[in-house]
Amino acid sequence: MTPASVTTTSIERVGVVGCGLMGSGIAEVCAKAGVDVVVREVDADAMGAGRRRIEGSLRKGLARQKLSEEDHAGAVARLRYTTDLGEMADRQLVIEAVTEYEPAKVEVFATLDKVVTAHDAVLATNTSAIPIMRLAMATDRPQQVLGLHFFSPVPVLKLVELVPSLLTSDGAVLAAQSFAEGVLHKRVIISKDRAGFVVNALLIPYLVSAIRMVETGFATAEDVDAGMTLGCNHPMGPLALADFIGLDVTRAAAQSLYDEFKEPLYAVPPLLSRMVDGGLLGRKTGRGFYRYDNT
């Protein structure tokens, strides 16, 4: 890594680009931690949906007495919503959480590089598998770009993968790690910049193997999941987990891993591709390997 170029003063202004399942969770935990947050979505409809998701989660926290009235009101007040990436100009940390599609992420980073005014601001991606270097090189400040990969549901799961590229400065790593640990109270693990990082490099072959079992008729989804929950004490079976993650995200992660390593265990099963092509993405669409009532 290059010499430090980022100050280690506390990060107080965060931007989140994307307000889907992951982006909304990241924005929520930052606001609850006392940080000023700007959330950006592509249009008013997407922004409205994201805002409802965040505010609904905060209301549940209040109803379950996990948040006090004061903490709830403070978190709501610290959140601001926009469709303009230009409003990220004064942010000290921007976390990109758009769709798991490399060209879309590259476009976001190229734009952030132009609009974020502080040259020592950290530009982070929540990608689950795309190599960080590819996104960093869309900017003129690759030393400030790194991965901060959260896990869903973000308000519940404590892990964050921190992924520096070969060009990321020590200062950017320190600033991001200090924020994730000291402000958000997450457990940080550090990974080399390889597709899939630590968690998905282990998880995706497991999910893909389970999908192949169903595809070939070796076992039903229900039996595969029962085998892993009741036989191995996993909290969720692999097919239910793939539905929870999103089959589109699962496919994208598998493809990134296969593109990088060319190992057959990462290859996307045809069944997974057909399900994604048909819009059967799991919980978020109401149907994947199982059916869900999203009403």
> 3-state DSSP call for residue 168?
coil
Cis amide bond preceding 205, omega within 30: no
| Centroid of chain to Cα 266 | 20
Asked if 214 and 227 touch (Cβ cutoff 8 Å), the reply is no
CA dist 148 and 127 (Å) reads 8
Q: Where are the alpha helices (DSSP H) in 179-246?
A: 199-215, 221-231, 238-245
Active site residue 200: yes
Q: Pick the catalytic residue: 41, 126, 161, 169? A: 161
Active site residue 234: no
- Antiparallel, parallel or unpaired: β 145-150 and 159-164: antiparallel
Q: Pick the catalytic residue: 24, 57, 191, 200? A: 200
Q: Pick the catalytic residue: 128, 165, 191, 256? A: 128
CA dist 43 and 81 (Å) reads 11
Asked if 17 and 88 touch (Cβ cutoff 8 Å), the reply is yes
Q: Pick the catalytic residue: 28, 96, 126, 149? A: 149
Active site residue 12: no
**Tally of CB atoms within 10 A around 263:** 10
Active site residue 10: no
CA dist 138 and 165 (Å) reads 13
Asked if 126 and 155 touch (Cβ cutoff 8 Å), the reply is no
Active site residues: 128, 149, 161, 200
